Structure 1
């Protein structure tokens, strides 16, 4: 789960290494348009590596972690942890 950044490193070889290492999904949460644009670039590299990826765009509130960004993060936690048995007891029933 990457909030307002973290897109730059997802070059194809990094995405492949993430997949080989057991990474199973990536969530980008953005409140600024440039963040969303960069997240789309990174998501394309991750999807090529067969990593499910989601981008959540909130209201444009700037580079912050509270308000709409915190709410979007909270709502996205179930998707982020879905399928990971280590967190099964923490997730709401479907």
Structure 2
């Protein structure tokens, strides 16, 4: 994947992370994306894109209660998101 393609995916993921529809998740995902997207490779961006596509109630349960999203890569990204916002690993 070329650098310009990766840059486009980063910009698109950032926009989507900050425009989900609920202010709370826009804030949580948007702040994380703003700070971490530049260091993500294509595979990590793909996982973030899948998280962004996850329904709000599932993200909320995972973020606030530590519930699994059903995929190890999504759970690891959620653990990073929780740590980023100062929450412990366990719910």
Q: Same fold (TM over 0.5)?
A: no
| Greater relative contact order (CA < 8 Å, ≥ 6 in sequence) | 1
More helix by share: 2
TM-score between the two structures when normalised by the length of structure 2? 0.31
- From the two aligned structures, give the one with the greater strand fraction: 1
TM-score (norm 1): 0.30
Bigger-Rg structure (1/2): 1
